[in-house]
Amino acid sequence: MLPKSFILKLKKVLVLNISKDVNYIRYLIFFVLIPFTPFSQIISGKIENSLGEKVPLANIVVKDSLTAETIRDFVIAQDGQYSLLLKGNFRKIVIEVSANRYRKEVFPIENLDKKTSYVHHFVLQKDSVVELKEVIVTAKSPPFVIKEDTVKFNVAAYRDGSERKIEDVIKKLPGVEVNDKTGEITYKGKSIETVKLEGDDLFGLNYSIGTKNINVDMVEQVQAIENYSANPLLKGIEGGEKVALNLKLKKSKFDFSGNIDLGNGITEGSKSVFNSAFNILGISKKYKSFGTLSFNNVGVNNSPFDYFSSTPSVEQIKETDFLAKKIIPETIYASSLDEKRTNINKALFGSYNSVFKIGKHISVKSNLYYLHDNISSNQVFDNNNLISNQQILSSDRYDSRKVPQQYRSDFEIKSSFTERSLLEYKLTISRENLNTSTNILQNNSKKYQAILRTNDFDFKQSLLFTQRLSDKEAFQVLLTQSSNNIPQNYFLSPSLMDSLVYFVDNQQSNDKKDIVDLKSTLLGRIGKSKYTFSVGSNIEKSNFQSNLMNNDNADKLKNDFTYKKYSLNNKVSFEFNLGNFKVLPSYTLSYMQQELTNDFKNSSKNIVIFEPSFSLKYRFSSSSGILFRSNYIQKPFSEEYFFDRPIYVSNRMTIKNIPTLALQKTSLVGLIYLINNLYEQFRLNLGISYSKSEGNYLPNIFINENITQMEYFYSPKSNQNINFNFLIEKYFPILQSTVRLKSNYAIASYYNIVNNSDLRQNESHLLSSELFIKTAFDTKINFENIFTFGQTTSKSTNSQKNRNSSFNNSSKVIIKPNKQWFFITNVDYFLPNMNNTTESLFFWDTALRYSPKTKNIEFSLAGKNITNNKYFTQLSTSDFSINSFKTNLISRYFILNVTYSF
């Protein structure tokens, strides 16, 4: 306490020290303030230490009493001066002064006079208690760092429904690309693991059920998750930089919601077209579900499965090793044109997906699918084969009708006994029936009728146990069992084998594959590096039978073999993070035993396989980097190369092999350079890759006007591929437009034998380039133009080049007069062969949409293929042929669509 004599009472005068450079404005403010603070007291003074030196920084607080907790006012004193303007009406205060390394000083003032200003100087004493040691006080604190590896994209806030699906929004998110055919989504060049719904993985790899069917207006935000771990116990220790998306729903969409789309219209011959759907979403804390039922005949595929072009789904690509083979292919081929123009369908697709949480530890998921379609097409193939100075012309016209049907159910149960362990069981059962009947006109003279029946039974189950051993380590055991059986029956009338004796060929084929796989893995992290060590064993057994019978039902060309493969393997991989470098070395060491047994022969082969792989990433800056990849793979061939008697697969083709148990050894090297500079709105990708496959089954082809016989034989010769790709994109603020140039150039070198030639070395060159320009004017009208050029060149030793160039230009005009109305019209010009400008095509499509302001309803009117093109022709080349492929199109139609959301 300081003696009272230190107080100097003064009459209230202006003690504010207004410096010379003060301007008029500040003076004015001060002047204006006075009337509003009539009761303010000013306390000021010096703060010095016992040596008379100024204390540079001190805190001054005002309290009602010494023991009061509340601070009424404060000021930060600088340079040994303070001035406190009290903003209340105080009778009695205590002023406390504290500064670092000084003892706190307190000064009370009683009976404050509101008309008096006070001056009080403080002299602070050095703190005599000097703590030299570090003094640490800690709190029980939350987990160290949880960095949410999530980029969020907020989505349209539509309350009024539309036919627009969340896929349409996902497509345009920065860094995201969607494959229109397979529905596969990639983020920053990596295929995503799944699309979650409110944090739950409802769809697994068939996430396109969600993205193709969930309406935009149900979703508030799309989140891109980097360093994703499907298994929460592996978070932070799992390598591989996995990515996933999460759909965050609008709050109002909790509970039950959905939409009904009704679309009806007319097409040629007053036939009706329709495109309708019903979607329902049920969300609560313990339960999530999404159900969809859709029906259309306008070429829209709402399912993850593609029966039109038979493009494998994301799941089929990832699980290809578990699947048996369809040896006899479908007759419908997809063109390069959008399926919404060529897929003449009548598709019914239903799916119900749900996940329940039972208590804290158990969750149960089920996915049910049903699909039925009726796809028809008229296709004409004209082949001009130029072989050893001979021209062999052939043509086929196929009028096909394919009826696929699929039933499938997936089931999954997850149970976490403890916080550190998780047991997951998954089961998939599916059945697919495909019936394709085709009327064929071969070489404009010979008629055939063909029926192909394919059934596909698939069963797969797996049990995965995960134990988190410590913060830095986890252990997993995975047991998988699968069985896939594909019986096929192909009827061709009249007989191709001998049309004089038989009127029908009946080619049967049955591939059954069983796999049991056991793998245990230890994953961990040391500092910034991660490692995975796994050992596993795999048993694979394929039983293949095929038989050609005719109407006499006698066995003719029979194949019956069993292929078994046993392997023990060890895989080790590392992820080292060294400054701006990321180094990812790994290897797989396996011992493999193969056995091929048929009626006559039993061959086997044991081999030790070493497959190293090495990747290196270097970041130049936060927006650019380089990636180098290399690996060496040794793979045995599968059953499609193990049958040695011909199988009739179409009205002109038979296939057989000369089987061996050799391996294909592939070396792959790739280099990618990336710039993704959002600040400059600039993107550049440059990539080059080279692969060399040593040991291949090469085709020995015999072609005449009526028949093509393929015999695959093993040769140690190597096929090679080089691929260059290039992308540059820039937004030009001055043009308010984005310009993007994308190019791909691929060179393939491969071998074959054609019509008893020597072994031929061939080369094919494929170039495609796309120039994209789109405006982002603030006006009501915007434009988009895409120009695409493609060229294929094929060449064989001592033969002429076969070349074809094509181009396509697509222009759009987009008009948005206000938020309710939207209009788009686009014109597509196709020139499939630049040497023949008469075969060009114009497409014209247009759409008008109206969304009333407040209603949950939306209307749209669309006209497709208004120019009513009937056929689309495209050309391709091979090393011995130029092929033309003509397919019919969905006729001109107009459709009115109403969407109601609830």
Partner 1 sequence: MKTLLFVLLLLPNFSFCQNLNIEFAVKYKNSSYRNELIIGDSITLWKDMPSEESTNVLDKAFFVKNHFNKTIYLSDFIFNKTFYVKDSLNNMKWELTNGTKIVLNQKCNAAITHFRGRKYIVYYAVNLPYSNGPWKFGGLPGLILEVKSDDDLYQFVAVKIIKNYTTSFKPANITNYKFISWDDFVSKFIITVDNTVKMVRTNADSDSKGYVKIDAPEIIYPKAQEGTGIEY
Which residues in the 659-718 window bind partner 1 by CB under 8 A?
676-681
* Angstrom distance (rounded) from CA 751 to CA 698: 6
Which residues ranging from 735 to 754 are in contact with partner 1 (CB under 8 A)?
Answer: 736-738
Residue type at position 546? S
Which residues ranging from 605 to 624 are in contact with partner 1 (CB under 8 A)?
Answer: 619, 621-623
Other CB atoms within a 10 A radius of the CB of residue 325 amount to: 18
Which residues ranging from 797 to 826 are in contact with partner 1 (CB under 8 A)?
Answer: 812, 814, 822, 824
Spell out where 297-361 has E strands: 347-358
Could you say which of 48, 64, 73, 226 contacts partner 1 (CB under 8 A)? Answer: 73
Structure tokens at 633: 């793979």
Could you say which of 45, 82, 86, 96 contacts partner 1 (CB under 8 A)? Answer: 96
Does position 29 bind partner 1 by CB under 8 A? no
274: left (phi over 0), alpha (psi -120 to 50) or beta: beta
* Angstrom distance (rounded) from CA 152 to CA 164: 20
> Smallest gap, in angstroms, from Cβ of residue 36 to partner 1?
17
Residues forming beta bridges with residue 346, ordered by sequence position? none
Helix (H) or strand (E) holding 36: none
**What is the torsional sign of CA 778, 779, 780, 785?**
negative
Dmax (CA) of the chain: 134
Could you say which of 132, 500, 554, 608 contacts partner 1 (CB under 8 A)? Answer: 132
Which residues ranging from 226 to 255 are in contact with partner 1 (CB under 8 A)?
Answer: 236
> Smallest gap, in angstroms, from Cβ of residue 216 to partner 1?
6
* Angstrom distance (rounded) from CA 181 to CA 339: 8
Give yes or no for a contact between 415 and 464, defined as CB atoms under 8 angstroms apart: no
> Smallest gap, in angstroms, from Cβ of residue 104 to partner 1?
8
Does position 774 bind partner 1 by CB under 8 A? yes
Burial class, 204, CB count within 10 angstroms (exposed 0-12 / middle 13-18 / buried 19+): buried
Give yes or no for a contact between 96 and 61, defined as CB atoms under 8 angstroms apart: yes
- Residue closer to partner 1 by CB (options 224, 662) is 224
Does position 146 bind partner 1 by CB under 8 A? yes
Which residues ranging from 527 to 556 are in contact with partner 1 (CB under 8 A)?
Answer: 527-528
Binding mask 39-58 for partner 1 (x = CB under 8 A): ------------------xx
Does position 156 bind partner 1 by CB under 8 A? yes
Does position 776 bind partner 1 by CB under 8 A? yes
Could you say which of 313, 782, 887, 897 contacts partner 1 (CB under 8 A)? Answer: 782
Query: In the block, which residue shows the tokens 């049907």?
Result: 405
Query: In the block, which residue shows the tokens 């042929």?
Result: 881
DSSP per position, 74-114: EEEEETTEEEEE--S--SSEEEEEE-TTB--EEEEE-S--T
Total count of residues recorded for the chain: 902
**Would strands 781-796 and 802-815 be described as parallel, antiparallel, or unpaired?**
antiparallel
Does position 60 bind partner 1 by CB under 8 A? yes
Torsion, Cα 31 33 36 37, to 10 degrees, reads -100
> Smallest gap, in angstroms, from Cβ of residue 348 to partner 1?
26
Burial class, 118, CB count within 10 angstroms (exposed 0-12 / middle 13-18 / buried 19+): buried
> Smallest gap, in angstroms, from Cβ of residue 71 to partner 1?
5
> Smallest gap, in angstroms, from Cβ of residue 168 to partner 1?
5
Could you say which of 359, 391, 733, 800 contacts partner 1 (CB under 8 A)? Answer: 733
Helix (H) or strand (E) holding 867: none
Could you say which of 2, 12, 75, 720 contacts partner 1 (CB under 8 A)? Answer: 75
**Would strands 255-267 and 272-283 be described as parallel, antiparallel, or unpaired?**
antiparallel
Could you say which of 32, 110, 128, 134 contacts partner 1 (CB under 8 A)? Answer: 134
- Residue closer to partner 1 by CB (options 190, 774) is 774
Which residues ranging from 100 to 119 are in contact with partner 1 (CB under 8 A)?
Answer: 100, 104
Residue 553, helix vs strand vs coil: coil
Stretch that binds partner 1, among 171-179, 185-193, 418-426, 445-453 (CB under 8 A): 171-179
> Smallest gap, in angstroms, from Cβ of residue 490 to partner 1?
42
**Would strands 760-775 and 185-187 be described as parallel, antiparallel, or unpaired?**
unpaired
> Smallest gap, in angstroms, from Cβ of residue 566 to partner 1?
39
Structure tokens at 85: 């303007």
- Residue closer to partner 1 by CB (options 43, 58) is 58
Which residues ranging from 821 to 850 are in contact with partner 1 (CB under 8 A)?
Answer: 822, 824, 847, 849
Residue 696, helix vs strand vs coil: strand
- Residue closer to partner 1 by CB (options 368, 861) is 861
With a CB cutoff of 8 Å and minimum separation 6, the contacts of 278 are 258, 259, 260, 261, 292, 293, 294
Does position 74 bind partner 1 by CB under 8 A? yes
> Smallest gap, in angstroms, from Cβ of residue 157 to partner 1?
5
Count residues binding partner 1 (CB under 8 A).
84
* Angstrom distance (rounded) from CA 888 to CA 33: 84
Does position 310 bind partner 1 by CB under 8 A? no
Give yes or no for a contact between 16 and 83, defined as CB atoms under 8 angstroms apart: yes
Stretch that binds partner 1, among 98-106, 284-292, 298-306, 875-883 (CB under 8 A): 98-106
> Smallest gap, in angstroms, from Cβ of residue 137 to partner 1?
5
Stretch that binds partner 1, among 20-28, 485-493, 520-528, 531-539 (CB under 8 A): 520-528
Could you say which of 13, 23, 111, 131 contacts partner 1 (CB under 8 A)? Answer: 131
Phi then psi for residue 556, to 5 deg, are: -120, -75
Could you say which of 138, 444, 445, 800 contacts partner 1 (CB under 8 A)? Answer: 138
Could you say which of 49, 310, 720, 775 contacts partner 1 (CB under 8 A)? Answer: 775
**What is the torsional sign of CA 419, 420, 421, 426?**
positive
> Smallest gap, in angstroms, from Cβ of residue 202 to partner 1?
21
- Residue closer to partner 1 by CB (options 214, 380) is 214
Burial class, 417, CB count within 10 angstroms (exposed 0-12 / middle 13-18 / buried 19+): exposed
Does position 216 bind partner 1 by CB under 8 A? yes
Could you say which of 12, 54, 121, 164 contacts partner 1 (CB under 8 A)? Answer: 164
Which residues ranging from 555 to 594 are in contact with partner 1 (CB under 8 A)?
Answer: 577, 579-580, 582
Does position 770 bind partner 1 by CB under 8 A? no
> Smallest gap, in angstroms, from Cβ of residue 200 to partner 1?
17
Could you say which of 49, 98, 384, 811 contacts partner 1 (CB under 8 A)? Answer: 98
- Residue closer to partner 1 by CB (options 31, 679) is 679
> Smallest gap, in angstroms, from Cβ of residue 702 to partner 1?
49
Does position 727 bind partner 1 by CB under 8 A? no
Give yes or no for a contact between 611 and 633, defined as CB atoms under 8 angstroms apart: yes
Give yes or no for a contact between 563 and 596, defined as CB atoms under 8 angstroms apart: yes
Give yes or no for a contact between 892 and 267, defined as CB atoms under 8 angstroms apart: yes
Chain centroid offset of residue 671 CA: 21
Torsion, Cα 415 417 423 424, to 10 degrees, reads 10
Could you say which of 31, 36, 144, 600 contacts partner 1 (CB under 8 A)? Answer: 144
Residues forming beta bridges with residue 46, ordered by sequence position? 81
Could you say which of 13, 29, 129, 145 contacts partner 1 (CB under 8 A)? Answer: 145
Does position 21 bind partner 1 by CB under 8 A? no
Stretch that binds partner 1, among 44-52, 59-67, 257-265, 837-845 (CB under 8 A): 59-67
